Structure 1
Amino acid sequence: MTGVRIERQSSLSADEAWRRLTDWARHGQRLPLTTVMVRTPPPTGVGTVFVARTRLGRLHLDDPMRVVRWRPPHGELPGYCRVEKQGPLITGWAEIEVSPCRGGSSILWREEIELRRVPRWFAPLSRAVGRLVFGRVVTGLLAEEDPAKA
């Protein structure tokens, strides 16, 4: 199992940071070679299913996920979301916490990933790649220009 922990501070409100980080389809715009397809109708909540498909030429790998905990930020209470990976090759979970703080919001993203049929000695490389990739996703989603203002 590979653990990744990403922490960020943002000038965005907790509500806006939450909206951006839980817009699953937008994650695909930040993940290399990946498209994210939401399989359930809005709004997002417990039971929402989405699939991240990474494609390289004719080869592709699907990472199906389901939202199992959903509590948007409210007032001074932090938001919390837990997603469980349900694929045959990629298992694990991801958690997103968004807390209001002075000047904006504080974000914590934790992820545990297991790649089945991959040797344990691969974990340090997987962890480093996960920190880089998911860190760029979080930073990019928080930095995006608001489409409503464009």
Structure 2
Amino acid sequence: MAEFTVVQEVNAPATVVWAALVDWPRHGDWAPLTAVRTLPGPSEGTGATFVARSGVGPLAFDDPMTVVGWQPPSGDGEHDRLGRCEVRKSGRVVHGRAWFSVTPLPGRRCRVVWYEDVTVSPRKITRFAGPVLSLAGRLGFAATLRALARDVEQAVTGRPSGSPS
């Protein structure tokens, strides 16, 4: 089992960040070497299905996912309820579960927490390389969430993140 958690604070409202995160094809904008497509049926909410294709050429693989938990944030205020989405991964290569939460913070900011608990096939890979896979996952998703934050912050403010006001 490879398990990791990544946290990223974003200078944008929780509802805006949630909308970006559940726009499944947009994940390909932030995750290197990944393209995401939705499958027929609902595009959001419990039961939505999508496939992330990661890698290059013959080293690419599909990571099909189904949303099994869905609770959007109730608003953007620090006392509003956080949003949480959980997916079940059911691919030949990667299986397990992942979830993210979006917690409203003061100042129209939010915190994103991303958690993965996955097994990679063949299972021996995960059993022997679990710590390496966890580290790689943590580093990869940290970079992905930083890219998400830059993208959403720029869309909200109209300027690159980190720019003076």
Q: Which shows bigger deviation, 117-126 or 68-77?
A: 117-126
| Root-mean-square deviation over aligned CA pairs | 2.0
Moved beyond 6 Å, runs of 4+: none
Q: In the alignment, what sits opposite 1:54?
A: 54
Q: Any idea what SS the aligned residue of 2:44 has?
A: coil
State the shift of 1:17 in Å. 1.2
State the shift of 1:42 in Å. 5.4
Percentage of matched positions with identical amino acids:
34
> Could you tell me which of 83, 99, 104 is aligned with 2:103?
99
1:4-62 alpha-carbon deviations (Å, 9 max, x no partner): 10111122111011111222111112222221111135541111111011242244311
Say if 1:99 and 1:107, in contact at 8 Å, map to a contact too. yes
Say if 2:52 and 2:63, in contact at 8 Å, map to a contact too. yes
Q: In the alignment, what sits opposite 2:21?
A: 21
* 2:135 aligned partner, one-letter code: A
Does residue 132 of structure 2 align to residue 128 of structure 1?
A: no
Number of matched pairs: 150
Q: In the alignment, what sits opposite 1:87?
A: 91
| Alpha-carbon distance in structure 2 between the residues aligned to 1:3 and 1:14 | 25
Say if 2:13 and 2:104, in contact at 8 Å, map to a contact too. yes
Residue 87 and residue 9 in structure 1: after superposition, are their counterparts in 2 closer, same or farther (change >3 A)? same
| Alpha-carbon distance in structure 2 between the residues aligned to 1:56 and 1:43 | 26
**Normalised by the size of structure 2, how large is the TM-score?**
0.83
Does residue 68 of structure 2 align to residue 64 of structure 1?
A: no
Q: Counting strand residues as a fraction of each chain, which structure ranks higher? A: 1
> Could you tell me which of 97, 114, 117 is aligned with 1:109?
114
Bigger-Rg structure (1/2)? 2
Q: Please, which runs of 5 or more residues in structure 2 have no aligned partner?
A: 160-165
| Alpha-carbon distance in structure 1 between the residues aligned to 2:65 and 2:126 | 23
Does residue 37 of structure 2 align to residue 37 of structure 1?
A: yes
Q: Counting helix residues as a fraction of each chain, which structure ranks higher? A: 2
1:97-136 alpha-carbon deviations (Å, 9 max, x no partner): 1111112111111111100212512111111110111111
> Could you tell me which of 136, 143, 150 is aligned with 1:143?
150
Say if 1:21 and 1:138, in contact at 8 Å, map to a contact too. no
Q: Which shows bigger deviation, 4-13 or 117-126?
A: 117-126
Q: Which shows bigger deviation, 51-60 or 119-128?
A: 51-60
